[in-house]
Amino acid sequence: MEKFRPIKGTQSLFGEEAERFNHVVQTFDQVRRLYGFSRVEVPMFEATGVFARSMGETSDVVSKEMWSFESRSEGSVTLRPEFTAGISRAFISEGWQQHAPMKVATHGAAFRYERPQKGRYRQFHQLDAEVIGSDDPLVDVELLAFGSQLLSQLGIGGVTLKLNTLGDAESRDNWRAALVEHFASHRGDLSEDSQERLEKNPLRILDSKDPRDRPFADSAPTMELTAEAEDFFGKVKAGLDAAGVAYTLDPHLVRGLDYYRHTAFEFVTDQLGAQGTVLAGGRYDGLIEALGGPSTPAVGWAAGIERLAMLLDGDFTQQIDAAVLPMGDAARGLGIAVLTALRKAGLSGELFASGKMGKRMSRASNAGALAAVIIGDDEIEAGELQVKILETGEQKALAPAAAVETITELAVERQMRAVLGQDEEE
């Protein structure tokens, strides 16, 4: 019989790995609510043109990495390689313009056909946050503060926010012309990739990693901002200062596509080596117009869930609050009722109904239970439960309501210890 194996570049998660992944998503959901971002959902595949136009026909993603296929009725469609294009398409075609300015966030799977490596998969998962319909620089500040607080609450250390401005359309056009002139004078000394980029996307030469390109990239002319662009960037920096978000200016941080404007940024950690970017984005005021919509300012960022999950400290093994141990058939019904009461009170629990008492207590301890609730014939007759606190070994007979209260107190104490432990680490 044929043995089926996972497709290259995909993964299945279980146990602590799955809990780490879920912790990233839950923290993102918590922080996006603090900042007033509404949850949205967009299709997992779109017409290929949506991504080709938004990511640039000549980009590596479009030319080499997109998962595209022919639909019987829709022509060429592509599994989403990122979220921004689909959200922008939805803004145009789903009637979302009436809600502008809108702050939206989502997360889910994305797909790129690239060489799998640590923290990078062909099916991967992203967090995404966007603000569409506002040209206020304080929106950029809020989005950056959102990203900064998310990374802080996840406990990811060694993070630097790299910040740059791509100017307005006039600044960018003038800069692009100056870069073309500069790089053209050194065409023969550039790498083959950069010679090709010079014709199609000269800004990409600035972030080339090829040592042949670095001298010319490092000596390239910097952007001269118009007064309006200078004012915009000044307000972003002042807002970050007011929000207490530290940043480092990086004039080599660029976005190659013409629809990008003003703010560009990356949060980089020193814990991942050369590939240290964990959250990145920028302002894309020209994208929605490029997709056939009205001229609409917008800014957003994305972050890889797998990469963030890799950087989490601590043990994320799932723990229960209580183990219910019924002794005998008569106790099983009461055990189910007790477990139901615990869960309604917001406490997690499991029923360990078979095996010797020692084995069951061992399983309860391995599951992280704070207390074991023991029910036998004597307890049924007395209308009480034996509650054993596993950390201390203390055991006492309690009425069901008192048992729930005791276990609640234990759960709150554990949660407080976890929070205090995180604070001490920070």
Percent of the chain at pLDDT > 90 equals 60
Q: Taking a C-beta distance cutoff of 8 angstroms, is the pair 128, 296 a contact?
A: no
CA atoms 404, 407, 408, 409: torsion sign? positive
259 marked ligand binding residue: yes
Does residue 419 carry a pLDDT above 80?
no
Residues 349 and 371 sit within 8 Å (Cβ to Cβ): no
pLDDT band at residue 256 under the 50/70/90 scheme: low
Residue 411 · residue 404 · CB < 8 Å: no
The overall longest dimension of the chain from CA atoms, in Å, is 94
Please, which pLDDT band fits residue 425 given cuts at 50, 70 and 90? Answer: low
Mean pLDDT of 182-192: 87
pLDDT at 169 over 90: no
Amino acid 217: pLDDT:
87
User: Residue 83 annotated as binding?
Assistant: yes
Mean pLDDT over 139-153 rounds to 97
pTM of the model: 0.85
Whether 82 has a binding-site annotation, put simply, is: yes
Distances (CA, A) of 143 to 97, 101, 161, 246, 265: 20, 14, 13, 14, 11
21 is an annotated ligand-binding site residue:
no
Predicted confidence (pLDDT) at residue 369 exceeds the cutoff of 70: yes
Question: Do the annotations mark residue 417 as ligand-binding?
Answer: no
Q: Is 33 annotated as a binding residue?
A: no
Q: Domain 322-425: give its CATH superfamily.
A: Anticodon-binding domain (3.40.50.800)
> Per the annotation, does 296 bind a ligand?
no
Determine if residue 363 is labeled as part of a ligand binding site. Answer: no
For the segment 124-139, the average pLDDT, to the nearest whole number, is 96
CATH superfamily of 16-168+225-310: Bira Bifunctional Protein; Domain 2 (3.30.930.10)
Mean pLDDT confidence for 18-31: 96
Mean pLDDT of the chain: 89
Alpha helices in 292-397 (DSSP H): 305-310, 329-344, 357-366, 377-382
Check whether 130 is labelled as a binding-site residue: yes
Query: 385 pLDDT exceeds 70?
Result: yes
Q: Which residues fall within 8 angstroms of residue 46, CB to CB, at 6 or more apart? A: 77, 78, 80, 85, 86, 89
Q: How far apart are CA 328 and CA 333, in angstroms?
A: 10
The domain ranges of the chain are 16-168+225-310, 322-425
pLDDT for 347 beyond 80 = yes
Is residue 396 scored above 80 in pLDDT? yes
Contact 374, 352 (CB under 8 A): no
